[in-house]
Amino acid sequence: MKWFEGDIPRAIQQAKLNKSVFIVFITGEDDSSVEMESYLHTDDVTAVVEGNNGVAVKLLANSNDCKFFSQIYPVVVIPSTFFIADTGLPLEVIAECKSHEDFLAKVKNAVEMQKRATSSQASHLAQQPQASTGASPVVASAAGDVNEDVDGAVAATRSGSGDDEVPEDTADTEQSLEDKVERAKQLVEKKREEKVKNEAEEERRREVERRTTGRSVQKLHQQQREMEMLEAKMELKKDREEEKLARKRVKEEIERDRAEKAARFNKEKDEKTKLAEEAKKKKLQEQQAALAEEQARRSDTARIQFRMPDGSSVTQQFSATDTFASVHQFITQHVGSPVTLSRTFPRRTFTTEDQTLTLQELQLAPSAAIMVIPGGVSTSVVRSSSGIFSFSGITGLLLAPVYFVWNIIGSLLGLSRPSSSGSAPAKTRSAPTSSARGGDRDPGRKAPSQRFHNAEDDSEDEDRATWNGNSTQQM
């Protein structure tokens, strides 16, 4: 089967020009469509169609041409083959075929129907030219009748009895001939009028058919243009929607990337800051510890400041390698009574276990401040105490005024207590007041012992050391 290469309107015009059958094959994508198309491509079907100048077109079921075609000829089944006459009437519609022979028989039937329609039209048109020449047979017939009448008249004359009857028969014969000629003329005129009328009717029918075909083709083109415009509009709208969605996705991706980068940057920044702070803190602690150890290691001496319960302070310099027992012995001899030593920072109360440790090991070198609490406390009590607010500290604070008054009375009465160590006065650097050397008391504040004054203020240092409350001589 050879498919027509032009569009559908041109195929229709070609079929009308050939006065042949117009074949339209509607195909899909299933196996039935492939099978029917194979029937159309067989040699038998091709010979029948091409032998009668048939015009065949192939339309896809989902194409616009098929949609326009189905508006005129409804397409119910796919695949299907339409055989349409040149007048536009459907001759045969093949929707299902069991075999090739059945399909070929239906094709031949449609072609024969087209031939019969074409032959009937040709015979009808052939009768119209004969109307113009119809006078000859009529005249001949009339002449034959005349001859028959003449012969009859002659026979009647021969068989007649007299000469009078001859003129009457001749007159009747002439009258009959004239009537027949007149009837022949009327018949010819009637045939001519019928021919003209038929030609006018045929021309009018052809004009109506031409106009109908033109309107159908124009409507088909208009619908096709509208469909194309609608598809173009929908395609443009679809492209815009896709472009809009693509831009939206890109923006969301950019925002998400920015948020992830910002979160990652902040996290890394926090981690770096935290690590830097930890490293800095660790380094500072290491430096401080190293510095303290270095100072303690390099320092040969330990300058200890003893803070008395009455607010005064005593400063003494020891060797860094001396044990804490020498410090405790010094302050005990200086005070003249058992005492307990503690440190405020870091908070610590020294016990008998610390007596064998060096000042460098106790981190009391190169300098340190130690609080002196009157009264000895057992190890268990000292360990459970907390600075000067323990039981022994409170007892020492309560007895401090008593010691102070006792020292004053002893100084007034001239009583003195010998020093417990002969070398202590030589090594002692007393600080009866909280001077700049002590650094822990306000210069404007005076110790309770400085609020007293007596006539012996200008006496010797030993007497002053007795009554001002800082002397190690006790009654």
- How far apart (Å, rounded) are the C-alpha atoms in residues 323 and 70? 120
Per the model's pLDDT, the better-predicted residue between 105 and 410 turns out to be 105
Coil, strand or helix at 23: strand
DSSP 354-421: GTTSBTTTTT--SEEEEEEEES---HHHHHH--GGGSHHHHHHHHHHHHHHHHHHHHHHTT-----S-
- How far apart (Å, rounded) are the C-alpha atoms in residues 197 and 397? 154
- The two three-digit tokens of residue 16, written as one number: 């009308």
- How far apart (Å, rounded) are the C-alpha atoms in residues 21 and 206? 18
User: How far is residue 254 from each of residues 249, 250, 251, 340, measured CA to CA in Å?
Assistant: 9, 6, 5, 73
Residue whose C-alpha is closest to residue 25's, from 43, 34, 37, 38? 37
Question: Using 50, 70 and 90 to split pLDDT, how confident is the model at 67?
Answer: confident
Rounded average pLDDT over 147-169: 41
Rounded average pLDDT over 222-238: 92
- How far apart (Å, rounded) are the C-alpha atoms in residues 374 and 390? 12
Please measure the distance between the N-terminal and C-terminal CA atoms of the chain and give it in whole angstroms. Answer: 148
Residue whose C-alpha is closest to residue 321's, from 371, 293, 347, 356? 356
DSSP 102-166: HHHHHHHHHHHHHHHHHHHHHHHHHHHHHHHTTHHHHHHHHHHHHHHHHHHHHHHHHH-S-TTHH
Q: What is the CATH number of domain 301-467?
A: 3.10.20.90
Residue whose C-alpha is closest to residue 71's, from 223, 226, 231, 228? 223
Rounded average pLDDT over 12-39: 85
- How far apart (Å, rounded) are the C-alpha atoms in residues 312 and 446? 9
Rounded average pLDDT over 348-363: 88
- How far apart (Å, rounded) are the C-alpha atoms in residues 400 and 411? 17
Predicted pLDDT at 457: 44
Per the model's pLDDT, the better-predicted residue between 64 and 170 turns out to be 64
Domain segments of the chain as ranges: 8-129, 134-235, 301-467
Predicted pLDDT at 305: 92
Amino acid (one-letter) located at 250: V
Angle at 339 between CA 338 and CA 345, to 5 degrees: 165
Question: Using 50, 70 and 90 to split pLDDT, how confident is the model at 131?
Answer: very low
- 8-129: CATH homologous superfamily? Glutaredoxin (3.40.30.10)
Amino acid (one-letter) located at 316: Q
Across the chain, which distance is largest between two alpha carbons, in Å? 231
- How far apart (Å, rounded) are the C-alpha atoms in residues 112 and 89? 14
Rounded average pLDDT over 249-259: 93
Question: Using 50, 70 and 90 to split pLDDT, how confident is the model at 42?
Answer: confident
- The two three-digit tokens of residue 118, written as one number: 């074409």
Rounded average pLDDT over 341-346: 85
Identify the weakest region by mean pLDDT among 120-129, 274-283, 416-425: 416-425
pLDDT at 234 over 70: yes
Predicted pLDDT at 429: 39
- The two three-digit tokens of residue 153, written as one number: 């008249």
Contact criterion met (CB below 8 Å) for 113 and 92: yes
Question: What integer best gives the mean pLDDT of the chain?
Answer: 73
What global pTM score does this model have? 0.30
pLDDT at 260 over 90: yes
Predicted pLDDT at 35: 86
- How far apart (Å, rounded) are the C-alpha atoms in residues 87 and 85? 5
pLDDT at 346 over 50: yes
Rounded average pLDDT over 219-239: 92
Residues 6+ apart with CB under 8 A from 188: 131, 134, 135, 138
Rounded average pLDDT over 290-305: 75
Rounded average pLDDT over 416-440: 37
- How far apart (Å, rounded) are the C-alpha atoms in residues 283 and 437? 33
Contact criterion met (CB below 8 Å) for 114 and 21: yes
Rounded average pLDDT over 3-22: 83
Identify the weakest region by mean pLDDT among 109-113, 230-234, 247-251: 109-113
Per the model's pLDDT, the better-predicted residue between 428 and 403 turns out to be 403
Question: Using 50, 70 and 90 to split pLDDT, how confident is the model at 295?
Answer: low
Contact criterion met (CB below 8 Å) for 466 and 474: no
Predicted pLDDT at 394: 67
Question: Using 50, 70 and 90 to split pLDDT, how confident is the model at 125?
Answer: low
- Which phi and psi (to 5°) does residue 108 adopt? -65, -40
pLDDT at 309 over 90: no
Per the model's pLDDT, the better-predicted residue between 472 and 118 turns out to be 118
Rounded average pLDDT over 246-268: 93
Rounded average pLDDT over 467-471: 44
User: How far is residue 166 from each of residues 104, 146, 163, 174, 178, measured CA to CA in Å?
Assistant: 75, 17, 6, 13, 19
Question: Using 50, 70 and 90 to split pLDDT, how confident is the model at 133?
Answer: very low
